[in-house]
Structure 1
Amino acid sequence: AMRAIAISFVWSFLAILMTSTPTASDKPALLAFKAQVSHGGSLASWNSSVGFCSWQGVVCSQRRPMRVVALTLDGTGLVGPLSPAIGNLTFLRMLNLRSNSFHGVIPASLGRLRRLRWLYLDTNSFSGTIPANLSACVRMIEMRLDNNTLGGPIPAELGEKLTSLEVITLRNNSFTGPIPTSLANLSHLHAVSLADNQLVGSIPPGLGSIQSMRYFGLFNNLLNGMLPPSIYNWSLLETFDVGQNMFSGSIPDDIGSKFPKLRYLGAGGNHFTGTIPSSISNMSSLVRLSLVQNNFSGYVPPMLGKLGTLQEVNLAVNKLEANDNKGWEFITSLANCSQLLRLSLNFNSFGGQLPGTIVNLSTTLQTLSLSSNMISGIIWLVWKHLG
């Protein structure tokens, strides 16, 4: 019995020893991280004169043992690769290294950070692919990897495992392949930014089931097909930007009631056809409307001026029309838009005489583009007004 008590005492002592001092793994992991980068003095505090919980950018838990729960070193001039030892900071909840000059691959060891919620590696020079085992970080809320040189496909595992994800931004990289259909599993997503990549294929219809979507950006990819009807269920959407792709089809007549909170509608540089729906004038929060460089035809909705918040309307390079009798009503209507800065109507089929009401457009107007149409008549009043 005495021997059992003694063994029990030893184990208890070891347990106390292990929990009453800062864990052995965190400090070496931080030093390994520092050893890989040049820092220009921003990590000067990372020395033995103070405990590592007092080092620049290091945040520790309050409970003993003190563990690193956040590493926030954004914009601190760090240059070099990211040490795989970062995966030993197993209590880490936030890793913020944005706006530095990290290069090389994103270490697969980040998959060991099961408590990680916020991953900010944007605006660096990371290359290679997204490690599939980042999907093991099942508590992740935000993943920001934009403005790097990452490539390859977007791993389907992200959509299969990261069910708490709310924000994923991969803009301005070199990702290829399709948008993973598995992203439809991420029911809490409210921001998806995949712009400025080389993605192909169409928008997965399953994404329409995500009721929380507010920002959806696919600008400048190689995507095609028609927009799936399911995405018009995004009643909270504020930004919808599918410009500079190869999408086709028409915009549904009732889009105005589908996106009541929309602030930016960007569909330029595609192959859309049909008319511009009149219901767009019901989007009372719309600030920017860009339908440039498509095949829209017919008249511009006459009540566009109901949108008092409009600042930019770009309808250039389409097949829109007007004549002396019909089609110019929207100009009269736009006089109600006191914040209008830019109106681009060039390279269309507008004809007839420019309505005199054009002089009533906002005094804040900076750009009015009418070139390459068939407009006739005298427009000296316009220049007098704009001057």
Structure 2
Amino acid sequence: MPDKKLRVMISSRCNDPFPEGGSPLSDLRRAAKRELEAVRLFGKPMFEVWINEDAPPGDAAGDSIDICLGQVDEADIVVVLSNGNAGWAAGASDIGICHAELMRGVATTAGKVRLVALPDIADNPKDPSQIARNARFREYLQTQNFFRGGSVRTRDDALERIREAVFDAVQSLARLGVREARKGKFHTGEALQWSSLNFRDRQALMVDTLADCFAARPGGKRAGNRVELPVAGKAVLFAVHAIPAALTIAAARELVGQPFLRDFEYEAALAAAAGPVHVIGCQKGATESQAIAMLGFPDATVVAAPFGVYAADPLQKVQFLFLQNCRDRTTTRFSAQRFFDWIDQSGEAAALLACAQSRRRIVKAIAGEQPSGSR
């Protein structure tokens, strides 16, 4: 079998000095490439490293941005060395090439991207368009809330952070691959057993599995299909439901309906928690249009994510998490894990909490208007 090396792309500026007044970043990039390509596992090379300094000329059909973004797509691991410089751009209002490479990696396969934060380089006061590009890039870095590891002051620090980034990427991607492999096929094993159940029994299993997954998180407390869980340091109530077939099947979808219409029934559970946030396990896929249809409000925040779809109504503060491919215990737990991975990586925990706190106030007001016998 031919050797298949892991492809690593190192993205950064080339000519900027590092440290300030020192040698260009190209020297650091070449040193990292030499070190990574020297790594052996059982005597075989592990990595092939792409840096544009050593790349052959590209074909005339594509410009430099196309070539670099193509390398981002092909890489197994992307290590971004960021000094706050967005890089070259053709137009004054365009984003820089370093900004574009990072954005492309995060948008397509965020799990393979690792950021090494170098000290920000000083802007050139004679180039206002570059200053504006750098400001956009730095704002993007802040909104993405990347984990940056230890501080970097010297060339040795930077090389150590690159080693750590690649090591962490190999470990995490291998574990992710194992979790994917464990899921197996859906026509055998437990997935087949779940598919053999009627809607009600399958729905009960899906709800029970998801509620257990959420309750197993640190600080989680379960009561039936309700789980109280800390989010951004505050308790949030998650209400767990399940659609035991494709969302296109009305009979399965109607088992859940629009659960937020009965949120006033959670009034007692909201004494010490914000929410509720509705978690809907979907046996198959979930789309943005299906999420909007269930929410019943088109002008909503809707995000397609690795776990499925997140939807929120900015007026009523209703929040839905559609966790897709909940076909057996393994795939269901994996979908829940992907949600928690997303909320950690995206920095959305504070926004989810704020929306849940607003929803609690709305629910309490609605509950106060209900006849005593209906509460």
Q: TM-score range by the shorter chain?
A: under 0.3
Which structure would you say has the larger RCO, counting Cα contacts within 8 Å and 6 or more residues apart?
A: 2
| More helix per residue | 2
TM-score, normalization: structure 2?
0.24
| More strand per residue | 1
